[in-house]
Structure 1
Amino acid sequence: MPLSEQEQRLLDEMERHLLHNDADVVSAPSGDRALSYRNLVYGALLLLAGVGGLVVGVILGDVWGVVVGVIGFAAMLAGVMLAVTPVRRSAPAEPRQRSTAKRQDSSSFMDRMNDRWDRRQDGR
């Protein structure tokens, strides 16, 4: 069942209000994080070394085999975490304005968080 014009307007207004005021609820990709090719390569190499350690641990079999297997598994886990963890892109630093610092001292915590969210959405 389609929405009436009044319901559509009300829905649009609620969405705008949510985007403007409730930054914690809305999760939009900020674009300042990306996967690093270097981390992908190092993670893949660490993953392969972990698989090798796991295989060697199975071949050894005794107590040392368990220790080597656990270390291999930990290396595999670390390799995957390294490969899929995004890194922050470096952005040129912008000079801070003095009026911003004064305003932040007198504003509430939520106002500062909303200002940070707005700056992030504007791409500054």
Structure 2
Amino acid sequence: MPLSEHEQRMLEQMERALYAEDPKFATALEGSGLRTYTRRRVYQAVAGFLVGIALLMAGMVAKQVWLSVVGFLVMLGCAVLAVTGWRKAPRPGEQPAGGPHARHQGRQRRSMMDRIEQRWQRRRDEQQGH
């Protein structure tokens, strides 16, 4: 369920206040969700890789070629997921791709905080003008 306009304004004000009060902390929070997600994805891929090894070994012991092939494919898929997840994970203190300091992206792909700041400035200008 999307937020109402009033709730969105309140959230924007709280985020802006957080940036004004402690910009280092707010910047650190921006990438933490992505970091946690990618770290969890890498851990799941490693666990899947171990399951793949178990399937491969079980197939060899039971002399079931299809089980060994499935185990190998699971290992391969999980290895690809782990490597891609590891490469995409932002380093601690680093801005994720598309963050406010990304220079290679156009105005349409600004970060959420840039858009919020722009809206906040627009509202302040409107209030001062009236």
Normalised by the shorter chain, which TM-score bucket?
A: 0.3 to 0.5
Greater Rg, structure 1 or structure 2?
Answer: 1
How high is the TM-score relative to the length of structure 1?
0.42
Which one has the bigger helix percentage? 2
